[in-house]
Structure 1
Amino acid sequence: MTSVRSDRWLRLDGTTNTRDLGGLPTSDGGTTAFGRVLRSDNLQTLSDDDVRRLVEDVGLREVVDLRTTAEVLLEGRGPLRAVDGVTHRHFTLLPERGHHTDVFAVEEDDAPDLPADWVETILPRQTTEDDEGEPPAVRAYLGYLHHRPENVVAALRALADGGEGAAVVHCAAGKDRTGVVVMFALAVAGVPDQEIVADYAMTADVIDDLVAKLRDSPTYAEDMTRRDVASHTPRAETMRRLLELLHERHGGPLGWLDGHGFVAADQAALRARLRD
């Protein structure tokens, strides 16, 4: 029986999948702390009241954005970009074409000179031949780890080094790219696998509203309508299988992190951020 708590949800006008990583049990009998790290879907449609609540009530000071540069360019600047004291960091987990693959270009007054086919790379699906026998979602997640391991680690390091205040990590839906980064963060905090799986699966509770929101955006509408809601719904067995593969191949999430440069000191800093 899972002990994931429903009061972890943060109900905002402009998002449908925002929740706190606090309140999760750890293997040593503790719990993760509230108000340190949030996970979310796209923040582009936050209302003025949402921004006020996040900055003043939650104490948000850092945004870790896992979207591609194409997504950021198409969606435009979100309202949190205009807030002094909120730092934005970008670490795409998907391969991008061309040379303009840095979100800082988006912050310039003029759009960068992107290659003609740049829009085709909004949500590329890539994995390795060795994983062709795995379910599509598992293959996609393994693709993040194969193609952009440095950005998985960089996103976690940003969360660890964020300083005072809360951080939010997000992508478009807050379930796939965000789910993988959050999986590693919770593993570092000592949250057992079954609770990580349960946290991942919570997005299914809001999937109808989440898909409806993304369908309203020209950026994501085609991807949302091409498949039915069921195919977008996260399943516990997906995260369970990813964790199984990490244990088989690397000795677990911490072994993968250690092998990719997120060593004991980094893990200790992130653990301290997520726990009292």
Structure 2
Amino acid sequence: MNARSRWIDLDGAVNVRDLGGLPTADGRTTRRGRVLRSDNLQDLSVADARLLLDDYELKNIIDLRSDAEVRLEGPGPLTRTPSITVHNLSLFSEGGRHTDVAADTPDDAVDIDKVLPWQNQPDAETDGDRSIGHYLGYLRDRGDSIVAALRVMTRPDGASLVHCAAGKDRTGVVCALALEVAGVTREAIVADYAQTGERIEAVLGRLRSSDTYAADLDSRPADSHMPHAAIMEKFMARIDEEAGGVLGWLATHGWTQEDTDALRARLLD
């Protein structure tokens, strides 16, 4: 890991970093090696797997992709590692054989606009901003998956890694909520979300190599996929306004003070 940037350089994934080293409002910092975030893990090399197992003691993978994405992409190499538990926690409202789309969608179709929301108007002030709408949809449709993901992060048996396809939208939302619970400053939460922009070209290059995502990505400019800080700022502000903050929202989905204490104990120095 690059100590200055928190990036973890792997052969088979390009958007991997440690959630450690972030400042909290009370002057503490998040612990390194406890929670990692990443893009898709399908292409990890043997050396990548060894690094995650040996250097980070990786034990739990939180996979936020839909059932259809998992089927289409196939099992990643870490799913065959006995010491690792994979938690499939889709953030889409899935029904039957479909993912997050209408009933007349062909089997195994993936709605790319929900998998990778397009930020064409990063400075828009309207509640209709597409990315914020998708992010709020994760909360509306899959509060159960979000609570389960945060609870996995409290486990004491080694590191947890949360990922989706790009490691940007779904992963960004779950990580932002976890960091908010831990007391990380809002500025640092937004900066961590936006940091994916440093590697967006490499992220898109990986996704274009997959038939699951390539066709739609080819028609869109790279800048339309950028994780602009304003998106996360407005998303978190909506939670503050509508639910009394992240803890208020979590409480309506079964999250307890014991859960908060456990996550903070795990993530904070």
**Normalized against structure 1, the TM-score is what?**
0.87
SS of the aligned residue for 2:60 comes to: strand
DSSP-derived class of the 1:226 partner: coil
Establish whether residue 231 from structure 1 lines up as the match of residue 231 from structure 2: no
Q: 1:179 aligns with which of 172, 175, 178?
A: 172
More deviation, 70-79/251-260:
251-260
Q: Secondary structure at the match of 1:118?
A: coil
Residue 257 (structure 1) aligns with: 250
The separation in 1 between residues aligned to 2:252 and 2:93, in whole angstroms, is 21
Give yes or no for the alignment of 1:43 onto 2:41: yes
> Could you say which residue in structure 1 is the equivalent of 2:195?
202
Deviation at 1:212, TM superposition (A): 0.7
2:206 maps to 213
For the 8 Å contact 1:62–1:88, the answer to whether it is kept is: yes
Over 3 Å counting, the alpha-carbon distance change for 1:236 and 1:61 in structure 2 is: same
Render the CA deviation track for 1:100-121: whole Å, top value 9, x for unaligned: 87xxxxxxxxxxxxx9823224
C-alpha displacement of 1:231: 1.0
User: Number of residue pairs matched?
Assistant: 255
- Asked if 1:28 is matched to 2:26, the reply is yes
Letter in 1 for 2:153: L
Equivalent AA in structure 1 for residue 7 of structure 2: W
Contact 2:98 2:105 in 1 (8 A): no
SS in 1 for 2:218: helix
Stretches of structure 1 lacking an aligned partner (at least 5 in a row): 102-114, 127-131
Distance in 2 separating the partners of 1:186 and 1:14: 26
Structure 2 counterpart of 1:136, which letter?
R
1:117 aligned to which of 106, 114, 128: 106
List, as ranges, runs of 4+ consecutive aligned residues in structure 1 with deviation greater than 4 Å: none
Root mean square deviation, CA, Å = 2.1
Greater per-residue helix proportion: 1
Tell me: CA distance 1:141–1:100, structure 2 relative to 1, closer, same or farther (3 Å): closer
Instruction: Measure, in 2, the Cα distance between the counterparts of 1:248 and 1:74.
Output: 38
CA contact (8 A) 1:15 1:43 kept: yes
Residue 62 in structure 1 maps to residue 60 in structure 2: yes
Q: Which amino acid aligns with 1:155?
A: A
For residues 113 and 227 of structure 2, what CA distance do their matches in structure 1 show?
A: 18
**What percent identity do the matched residue pairs reach?**
49
CA contact (8 A) 1:70 1:122 kept: no
The residue that corresponds to 1:159 in the other structure is 153
The reply on whether 1:168 has 2:157 as its aligned counterpart is: no
Tell me which residue corresponds to 1:141: 135
Match of 2:83 in 1: 85
Cα contact 2:14–2:202 (8 A) shared by 1: yes
> What is the identity, as a one-letter code, of the residue corresponding to 1:77?
P
Please tell me whether the aligned partners of residues 201 and 235 of structure 1 are also in contact (alpha carbons under 8 angstroms). yes
Render the CA deviation track for 1:210-234: whole Å, top value 9, x for unaligned.
1011101111112321321111110
Structure 2 distance, partners of 1:158, 1:272, is 13
- Quick one: distance in 1 between partners of 2:89 and 2:20? 23
Residue 165 (structure 1) shift: 0.7
CA–CA distance in 2 between the matches of 1:116 and 1:237?
32
Inter-partner Cα distance in structure 2 for 1:124 and 1:205: 21
